């Protein structure tokens, strides 16, 4: 009795080395047949899956490269657009300042022209009023002289004035 038999008899652990009792030959045959027949089937299936995965990886790498190139181009375009926007903004500020300065200059010129027009109108009105006052003063003086003249001139004085006027006319 060996140690293995002792454990087997007692209901413990035992190793059966008899190939016919353990069905070891059947298992080897079945596993061999399975490996032989399934090797081609499983191998082809695994190869196709591997190729499919490699193709998807290649496609993903190509898309990544394309996306990276597109991103670089978009960033470049964005930088260019930002530069153009900044240039336009600066030009707009400069133009607004020029328009503001031009508007101020025109306003000042318009105000000066209005002032000159007002002064010219004032001077013309003053000249008109002065002329009208002179005319009224002359008419008033003539009216006064005409009113006083008959009382101051007698026939003798009137004859003397007429003779002086005739002498002036003959001498001229």
pLDDT, tens digit, for every residue of 79-122? 999 999 999 999 999 999 999 999 999 999 999 999 999 899 99
Region 13-19 average pLDDT:
65
The answer to whether the beta carbons of residues 4 and 14 sit under 8 Å apart is yes
pLDDT score recorded for residue 113: 92
Number of compact structural domains in the chain: 1
Distance of CA 84 to the CA centre of its chain: 10
Q: Supply the range of the domain harboring residue 64.
A: 3-171
DSSP 23: T
The pLDDT mean for the chain works out to: 85
Predicted TM-score (pTM) of the model is 0.40
Condensed to tens digits (0 to 9), the pLDDT of residues 134-144 reads 999 988 888 88
Which has the closest alpha carbon to 53: 93, 45, 88?
Answer: 45
What's the pLDDT score for residue 55? 96
- For the chain, first and last CA: distance in Å? 191
């Amino acid at each position: 009795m060996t140690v293995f038999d002792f454990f087997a008899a007692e209901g413990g652990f035992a190793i059966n080395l008899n190939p016919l009792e353990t069905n070891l030959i059947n298992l080897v045959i079945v596993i061999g047949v399975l490996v032989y027949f399934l090797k081609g089937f499983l191998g082809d299936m695994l190869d196709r899956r591997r190729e499919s995965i490699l193709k998807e990886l290649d496609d993903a790498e190509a898309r990544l490269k394309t996306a990276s190139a597109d991103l670089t181009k978009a960033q470049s375009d964005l930088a260019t657009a930002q530069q153009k926007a900044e240039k336009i903004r600066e030009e707009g500020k400069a133009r607004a300042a020029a328009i503001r300065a031009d508007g101020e200059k025109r306003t000042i010129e318009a105000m000066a022209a209005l002032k000159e027009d007002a002064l010219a109108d004032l001077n013309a009105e003053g000249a008109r009023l002065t002329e009208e006052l002179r005319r009224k003063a002359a008419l008033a003086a003539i009216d006064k002289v005409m009113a006083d003249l008959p009382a101051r001139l007698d026939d003798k004085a009137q004859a003397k004035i007429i003779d002086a006027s005739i002498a002036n006319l003959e001498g001229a």
